[in-house]
Amino acid sequence: MILAILETAKNALSEASLETVTAARDLAQKTNDSVAALLIGKGVRALAASLRGVSAVLIADDERFESYVPEAFAKIAAAAITQKSPKIVLAPGTETGNDLMARVGARLNLGLATNCTEFFVENGALKRVTRSNWGGSLLEEVEILSSPIVLTLAPHAIAAQSANGAAPSVETLSVALSEKEFRVRVRELIPSEKKGISLTDAKVVIGGGRGMGSAEAFQMLEELAALIGNAAVGATRVATNNNWRPHSDQIGQTGAQIAPDLYIACGISGAIQHMVGCKNSKKILAINKDAEAPIFQRADYGVIGDLHQIVPALIAELKRLKGA
Ligand X SMILES: Cc1cc2nc3c(=O)[nH]c(=O)nc-3n(C[C@H](O)[C@H](O)[C@H](O)COP(=O)(O)OP(=O)(O)OC[C@H]3O[C@@H](n4cnc5c(N)ncnc54)[C@H](O)[C@@H]3O)c2cc1C
Residues of this chain that interact with ligand X (CB under 6 A) are: 209-211, 236-239, 250-255, 267-269, 271, 273-274, 277, 287-290, 293, 306-308
Q: Which is nearer to ligand X, 29 or 219 (CB)?
A: 219
Q: Please state whether 23 falls in left (phi above 0), alpha (psi between -120 and 50) or beta.
A: alpha
- Dist. CA 283–CA 261, nearest whole Å: 6
Measured from the CB of residue 221, what is the shortest distance to ligand X in angstroms?
13
Measured from the CB of residue 100, what is the shortest distance to ligand X in angstroms?
24
CA-based diameter of the chain, in Å?
68
- Dist. CA 159–CA 51, nearest whole Å: 16
* Residue 201 DSSP code: T
- State how far the alpha carbon of 144 is from the alpha carbons of 113, 114, 277, in Å: 8, 11, 28
Contacts of 49 (CB under 8 A, 6+ apart): 167, 168, 170
Measured from the CB of residue 295, what is the shortest distance to ligand X in angstroms?
7
Sign of CA dihedral 71, 75, 80, 81: positive
Measured from the CB of residue 233, what is the shortest distance to ligand X in angstroms?
14
Q: Which is nearer to ligand X, 18 or 258 (CB)?
A: 258
Q: Which is nearer to ligand X, 148 or 255 (CB)?
A: 255
Amino acid at 288: N
Q: Which is nearer to ligand X, 108 or 259 (CB)?
A: 259
Q: Which is nearer to ligand X, 34 or 98 (CB)?
A: 98
Angle subtended at Cα 115 by Cα 192 and Cα 84, rounded to the nearest 5 degrees: 105
Measured from the CB of residue 301, what is the shortest distance to ligand X in angstroms?
15
Measured from the CB of residue 195, what is the shortest distance to ligand X in angstroms?
22
Measured from the CB of residue 279, what is the shortest distance to ligand X in angstroms?
12
Assess contact for 139 and 117: CB atoms under 8 A.
yes
- Dist. CA 215–CA 171, nearest whole Å: 54
Q: Which is nearer to ligand X, 233 or 293 (CB)?
A: 293
Q: Which is nearer to ligand X, 92 or 252 (CB)?
A: 252
* Residue 146 DSSP code: S
Q: Tell me the sheet residues that pair with 138.
A: 133
